[in-house]
Structure 1
C-alpha cells in the first residue's frame, strides 16, 4: 500500500533550484553531540502553488546539487538515476548490470525492482520504475547538515504519466518522511523515511518536529529558512503540551499509517466518517472525500469555512477558502479512487507537525 499524494511541479522552478550553488557542505551534524540536529528548508512559490525543498548535497561519493520535495505524504527518498549515474547505465527498461548488485559512485544498486504510483485521483496517476539502492546521503545546507549512513532509497530509471508519456528528468525527486514505507521488495528490503534511518544523539528519540512555516519566506527562487526541522526529539519535545498526539496504526509489512480517522465540515455539510493525511507534498489544493458528493469534483467557493477534527484525539484544524489560498476540492471516492482526504501544504503555514518513529505517534499543533 502507498499513500496517494499529488505533486504539482514547475519546470521553471526546478531549473532555478538546479542552478543553485552550495555555500557550505559539512559531512556531519554541526550541533553538539548531545543535542538535536537543526535543518533548514527552501520555501518556494511559483505564484500558483508553494513547494518545500530539502537540499541533498552528497549521494554516495559524489557531490550533487539536488533539491528534493520535502513530503510528509510518503515515506522514503526517491530520486532519478539520470542525476546520479552515468547515462550508459540507464535504459527505459532498467539498469545495465548483471548479478545481485553493483556499486557506482558509492551507490549500491540492487537487482530488486518495483514501481511507485503517484496521484491525487484516478485522472492524475503517474508512475516511476526503479530499483532498491543504498548509499551514504548528506542532507542539509548552509552548514547545517547530517550524513545518514547506508540509506535505502528508490532509484528510478523512468517515469510515465497515465497516458504512457515519459516524464522529464527529476519530476519525482522526493524526500518522504512519514512512517509508512514507500515501497517494499521481494527480498524483504524496503524504502522508509531517511529520518527514521538516522540515529540521533544519546538521550534523543528517533523523530522530528516541524515549526509553522509562515507565509513571508516563500519566493520564486526559493528562500532558505534555517531550523525549520528539529531532527531527534527530546523528552521535552515529546511531552510538549501544545502538540496533540495521535497513535498510529501498524500496517503489516508497510510500517505505520499516517492516515488519521477524522470528521470534517464544509459549509453546512458534515462528513462524519473520513480519513485524512496532512501532506506537504500536495499544493495548491486540498482534496476532501465525501461519498454523497457528485462524481464530478467540485471546487468549494471562496469564503467557505472548512473544519477538520481528528477522531481519536480531537485535534481541530479550521480554515476559510480565499481566492488564492486554501483551495479545496470535494470528491466522491467512487470517482477519485480513494477515500483518503488530503490536507495540503497550507496546513503547515500556521501549524506544527511532529513524528515520533519509536513510539509511532503523530503530533499536530495549532499556533
Structure 2
C-alpha cells in the first residue's frame, strides 16, 4: 500500500526548508473552468508523500512539469487555502528574477510554456500572531501532478509565481520554502483568478468536479518521506455524494473569496462549549487552534489528556484526546489572532476522510 520513492522529487531540498514552513499554518484564503468532455470518465487516484519532523506533519503532492519545464518538486497539499503558489527559481531564467520582482516588458510573456502576467500581488499565510508573505505574479501553465506511479495533466492552471518569501521577522526564506498546492473551494482573497488547481482536471461526463482525501497513514509520517498510494481521488461519483457515508455541508458564498470552506458548529473542551467556525486544514502541521473570544491570553495550550469534541451543524461529530506529542491543541482569543476560525490541524485527517465538491459547493466529512 505504501512505498518510499527512491528519487524523491527534490524532497531533500524541501525537508531542509521545513523548519521555516512549520512556523506558520496555511490559514488563508467560484468559477468552474470549462473542460473538454470525456465519455465514461472514471476518477483518477494518486499517492501523496507523508513527512514528519517531531510532532509536525506535512503531506506533499509531486509536481513533475510546469509548462514545458520538467521539475521535481513536492508542494504542500493544503485544504485550508485556494490556489497553487510556486517559487520562480529554476522555473524561469535567473535573469528574470530580481529582488524587485520578475522582470519583463509588456502585459505578459511566455517562458518555458508558462504565461507570466504583469499582475502582481502579495499572498499571506498565518494570522496576526505571525505572518509569512510571498511576493510575485499571476501566471498560467499546464501542470503535471504525480510521478512514475501515476500522473495527470491539469490544463492552463492559474497560479501564483513568487520571487521572494518573507517570514514574520522580516527574513527572506530560501527558494521553494512555500510551494503550496491549495485545494480549498474558494478563490484567493488576493487575486480572484487563483483557485484550486484540481478544478482544471478534465472531469469529463459522469463525474462531479471535486476530490476526496482518504484517511492518512499514521505509520508513514517519518523523516524519510514516504509515498502512500491512493490517498487522493480526483473526480467524484454519485456514490461518493449519496451513499458513501460522507456528511455533506453546504458552503456559503462571499463576494470576496467565493465559497468559504468554514463550517459552523460547536466545540467542547473540558467543561467549556462554544460556537465555532471550523476550518479543516492539512496545511496546519501540528497544533489545532480553538478560537474563544472569552479566553484569556494566558490560557494557551490544553494539557495532555484533555478531551475535545466537535459537532458540525449537519451532525458530523469527532472526539479526540490531546497528548504530549499529538493532537496538540491551544486556545486563542480572536482579538489577538484577528482570525475567528477554529482550525483543525493535519491530525484530524489521521482519523477522518475529507471530500470537496466544487460543482455543488459542499464539503463532506466522514469518520473512519
TM-score, structure 2 normalization: 0.88
User: Which one of 66, 75, 78 corresponds to residue 68 of structure 1?
Assistant: 75
CA distance in structure 2 between the aligned counterparts of 1:147 and 1:175, rounded to whole angstroms:
14
CA distance in structure 2 between the aligned counterparts of 1:296 and 1:161, rounded to whole angstroms:
25
Instruction: Please name the residue that 1:281 is paired with.
Output: 283
- Residues 16, 127 of structure 1: CA spacing in aligned structure 2 closer, same or farther, 3 A cutoff? closer
Structure 2 alignment gaps of length 5 or more:
1-10, 19-38
User: Which one of 93, 97, 103 corresponds to residue 104 of structure 2?
Assistant: 97
- 8 Å CA contact 1:285–1:327 kept in 2: the answer is yes
CA distance in structure 1 between the aligned counterparts of 2:136 and 2:17, rounded to whole angstroms:
26
CA distance in structure 1 between the aligned counterparts of 2:97 and 2:17, rounded to whole angstroms:
25
String of CA shifts for 1:203-242, please: whole Å, max 9, x gaps: 1110011111131222212111111111001111111241
CA distance in structure 2 between the aligned counterparts of 1:275 and 1:350, rounded to whole angstroms:
20
Local SS of the residue matching 1:231: strand
Once the two structures are superposed, the pairs formed by residues 292-307 of structure 1 within 5 Å of their partners are 292-296=294-298, 298-307=300-309
Instruction: Please name the residue that 1:263 is paired with.
Output: 266
Compute the displacement of 1:190 (Å): 1.0
Compute the displacement of 1:11 (Å): 8.5
Instruction: Please name the residue that 2:333 is paired with.
Output: 332
Instruction: Please name the residue that 2:255 is paired with.
Output: 252
- Residues 170, 89 of structure 1: CA spacing in aligned structure 2 closer, same or farther, 3 A cutoff? same
Instruction: Please name the residue that 2:356 is paired with.
Output: 355
- 8 Å CA contact 2:63–2:71 kept in 1: the answer is yes
Q: Does 1:175 align with 2:177?
A: no
TM-score, structure 1 normalization: 0.88
Compute the displacement of 1:48 (Å): 3.2
Once the two structures are superposed, the pairs formed by residues 1-367 of structure 1 within 5 Å of their partners are 14-15=15-16, 34-119=41-126, 121-185=127-191, 190-271=193-274, 273-296=275-298, 298-311=300-313, 313-367=314-368
Compute the displacement of 1:163 (Å): 2.9
String of CA shifts for 1:217-270, please: whole Å, max 9, x gaps: 222121111111110011111112411100001111422100111210111111
- 8 Å CA contact 2:253–2:260 kept in 1: the answer is yes
Compute the displacement of 1:15 (Å): 4.2
Length, aligned pairs only: 339
Local SS of the residue matching 2:129: helix
Local SS of the residue matching 2:143: strand
- 8 Å CA contact 1:13–1:221 kept in 2: the answer is no
- 8 Å CA contact 2:77–2:283 kept in 1: the answer is yes
Structure 1 alignment gaps of length 5 or more:
1-9, 18-31
Q: Which region of structure 1 is more displaced relative to structure 2, 63-72 or 175-184?
A: 175-184
CA distance in structure 1 between the aligned counterparts of 2:167 and 2:221, rounded to whole angstroms:
29
CA distance in structure 2 between the aligned counterparts of 1:206 and 1:317, rounded to whole angstroms:
27
CA distance in structure 1 between the aligned counterparts of 2:249 and 2:228, rounded to whole angstroms:
28
- Residues 253, 292 of structure 1: CA spacing in aligned structure 2 closer, same or farther, 3 A cutoff? closer
Cα RMSD, aligned residues only = 1.9
- 8 Å CA contact 2:17–2:174 kept in 1: the answer is no
User: Which 4+ residue blocks in structure 1 deviate beyond 4 angstroms?
Assistant: 10-13
CA distance in structure 2 between the aligned counterparts of 1:297 and 1:153, rounded to whole angstroms:
39
Local SS of the residue matching 1:116: strand
Compute the displacement of 1:158 (Å): 1.0
